């Protein structure tokens, strides 16, 4: 039989080890100690939103940046904004940096709809949800897509120009082919024009994309269209106001500015001033404040793990993406006051006085 003194030594050793363990656990036995699991809806500190933008070279995107920052800040969130200015590799690198800095949700305006799928994969590996802002990311399981109805944008453009020029030679100056929106816009344009094309009333005599949405590329395209058709052009539909600006410069060089109807999109200040002076026929107004407000609210919901309900989805080549599509508005000289000015998008002085009217 083991001596009593030996058993007492062993018992004291066990008691001493138990006391040490209890001290390390704040005085509670290990079996009773509970480690709290942080809830998705109880994050410490403000929500951190990463906003990866394609470019800040155009007036429209400067507005998006400023309005989104304001909307997020008003809701208690922090925003870190980066812009790649059309560089795919830089946009991916910038997004990786945002992910490494511990953002809670990523909002992305893709330059290249295909290339930015890599960003979505990296974010998801880090447990970060992704919202495609204004432009769809292709072939990736993005969590949400929020934009305007881009097919409707094209339809509004075509309806306005068809009303002005029911018969004649049309030029189509598209946007950057890497942007999924341009394909949707063009589809909307053709949906409206196709019956007139089939009747022979309209002939599209020139159709070209504009690399990187650059106005100088649109100018070169329009100059080429005029030369190829001996200036016999009756109407132009441009994918946005920046490209419309390039188109109008090419028309000015031929003494045709104000003679040929031109459509654009985005309601940029320069464009609405051109509408006032008669060199641009119309633009499509997309209330950016509605977009930025909705995305800021939705980003915070996703970061908290809350469910976002949508009524539509858009196929991006990989999945049906839950989507919210806002309504655009056609703007011409007759409704400037009731649209962009009434909303405070541009002031009356900016629109009329700076246009010289």
Predicted pLDDT of residue 43: 54
Q: Are 283 and 264 in contact (CB under 8 A)?
A: yes
Rounded to an integer, what distance in angstroms lies between the CA atom of residue 147 and that of residue 277?
30
- The total of structural domains in the chain comes to 2
Q: Are 326 and 102 in contact (CB under 8 A)?
A: no
- Residue 275 included in any domain: yes
- Residue 11 included in any domain: no
The helix (run of H) or strand (run of E) holding residue 145 is strand 144-148
132 and 278 assigned to the same domain? no
201 and 336 assigned to the same domain? yes
64 and 130 assigned to the same domain? yes
272 and 167 assigned to the same domain? yes
Predicted pLDDT of residue 73: 97
Other Cβ atoms closer than 10 A to 5: 7
**CATH number of the domain bearing residue 318:** 3.40.50.2300
165 and 269 assigned to the same domain? yes
Q: Identify the segments of the chain with pLDDT beneath 50.
A: 1-2, 4-41
Question: Residue 97 has which token pair?
Answer: 């940096």
Predicted pLDDT of residue 28: 36
Predicted pLDDT of residue 353: 77
Q: Where are the alpha helices (DSSP H) in 4-135?
A: 4-24, 59-74, 88-100, 117-125
Predicted pLDDT of residue 30: 33
302 and 337 assigned to the same domain? no
58 and 116 assigned to the same domain? yes
Predicted pLDDT of residue 22: 39
59 and 131 assigned to the same domain? yes
What residue numbers bound the domain in which 120 lies? 48-142+288-326
Q: What share of the chain is helix, strand, coil (3-state, %, to 5)?
A: 45, 20, 35
Q: Are strands 168-173 and 202-208 parallel, antiparallel or unpaired?
A: parallel
Other Cβ atoms closer than 10 A to 226: 21
The helix (run of H) or strand (run of E) holding residue 315 is strand 312-315
- Residue 28 included in any domain: no
């Amino acid at each position: 039989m083991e001596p009593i003194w030996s058993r007492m030594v062993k018992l004291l050793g066990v008691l001493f080890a138990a006391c040490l363990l209890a001290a390390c656990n704040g005085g509670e036995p290990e079996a009773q100690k509970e480690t709290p699991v942080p809830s998705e809806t109880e994050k410490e500190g403000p929500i951190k939103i990463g906003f990866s933008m394609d470019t800040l070279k155009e007036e429209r995107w400067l507005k998006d940046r400023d309005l989104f920052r304001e909307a997020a800040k008003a809701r208690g969130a922090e925003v870190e904004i980066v812009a790649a200015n059309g560089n795919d590799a830089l946009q991916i690198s910038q997004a990786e940096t945002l992910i490494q800095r511990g953002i809670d949700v990523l909002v992305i305006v893709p330059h290249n709809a295909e290339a930015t799928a890599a960003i979505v994969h990296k974010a998801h590996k880090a447990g970060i949800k992704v919202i495609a802002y204004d432009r769809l990311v292709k072939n990736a399981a993005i969590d949400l897509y929020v934009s305007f109805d881009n097919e409707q944008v094209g339809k509004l453009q075509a309806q306005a120009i068809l009303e002005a020029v029911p018969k004649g030679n049309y030029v189509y100056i598209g946007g950057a082919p890497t942007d999924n929106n341009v394909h949707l816009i063009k589809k909307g344009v053709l949906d409206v024009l196709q019956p007139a094309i089939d009747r022979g009333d309209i002939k599209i005599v020139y159709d070209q994309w504009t690399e990187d949405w650059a106005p100088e590329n649109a100018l070169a395209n329009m100059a080429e269209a005029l030369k190829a058709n001996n200036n016999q052009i009756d109407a132009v539909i441009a994918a946005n106001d920046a490209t419309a600006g390039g188109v109008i410069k090419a028309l000015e060089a031929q003494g045709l500015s104000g003679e040929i109807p031109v459509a654009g999109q985005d309601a940029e200040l320069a464009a609405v001033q051109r509408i006032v002076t008669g060199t641009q026929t119309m633009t499509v107004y997309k209330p950016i404040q509605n977009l930025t407000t909705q995305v800021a609210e939705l980003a915070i919901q996703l970061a908290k793990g809350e469910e976002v309900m949508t009524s539509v989805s858009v196929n991006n080549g990989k999945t049906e993406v839950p989507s919210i599509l806002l309504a655009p508005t056609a703007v011409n000289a007759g409704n400037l006051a009731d649209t962009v000015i009434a909303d405070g998008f541009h002031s009356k002085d900016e629109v009329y006085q700076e246009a010289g009217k």
